[in-house]
Structure 1
């Protein structure tokens, strides 16, 4: 199993971000080839020190790193990545990694 972790920093207009993310970006991302599961944070994002400078965390599940890379090389992946500039004005970081249960 592999995961893509997407950290969205605080946007200028959180309500506009939320509307766009749910109505446009999620439907784009759900078309990624090989996507197994898509989760987003619900409510405030915090750290042990208190509130984090994050608005939303998305976790996308794939079978492997190769599947993540292949997904983002596809037309659907290019459209999803290209869409970030349309709403993520606070900044966004993407990380992907293999996972194992322990």
Structure 2
């Protein structure tokens, strides 16, 4: 399985971010054919020292393989989802990709 983690930094307007993200961005991303799972944090992000001062939201997207993840990013739906980031992610976003294994 392959994962894409999107770490969204604190936006200028958290309420507007959340409204846009949940009503527009997620439905757009869920059109990606290769997407197998989509999770977001259910509670505020925290660090061992307390609440995160940097990040507002973490999203974890699952794909069957790295090849599927790469195909998703290159698809029209993936391109539309990536282009949508500028519409709401005012604080910026970090994207991480990796394959997973059971240990």
Question: Is the shorter-chain TM-score for this pair beyond 0.5, marking a shared fold?
Answer: yes
Deviates more, 1:65-74 or 1:75-84: 65-74
Q: Distance in 2 between matches of 1:95 and 1:11?
A: 19
Aligned to 2:76: 75
Q: Distance in 1 between matches of 2:67 and 2:51?
A: 34
Partner SS, residue 84 of structure 1: helix
Deviation at 1:43, TM superposition (A): 2.0
What root-mean-square deviation, in Å, do the aligned CA atoms of Structure 1 and Structure 2 show?
Answer: 0.7
- Matches for 1:84-99 after TM superposition, within 5 Å: 84-99=85-100
Q: Distance in 2 between matches of 1:19 and 1:34?
A: 25
Q: Distance in 1 between matches of 2:32 and 2:41?
A: 19
TM-score, with structure 2 as normaliser: 0.96
Q: Which consecutive residues of structure 2, in runs of 5 or more, have no partner in the other structure?
A: none
Partner SS, residue 59 of structure 1: strand
Aligned to 1:7: 7
Deviation at 1:49, TM superposition (A): 1.8
Equivalent pairs counted in the alignment come to: 102
Q: Which consecutive residues of structure 1, in runs of 5 or more, have no partner in the other structure?
A: none
Partner SS, residue 86 of structure 2: helix
Q: Distance in 2 between matches of 1:43 and 1:54?
A: 12
Deviation at 1:30, TM superposition (A): 0.5
Partner SS, residue 22 of structure 1: helix
Partner SS, residue 21 of structure 2: helix
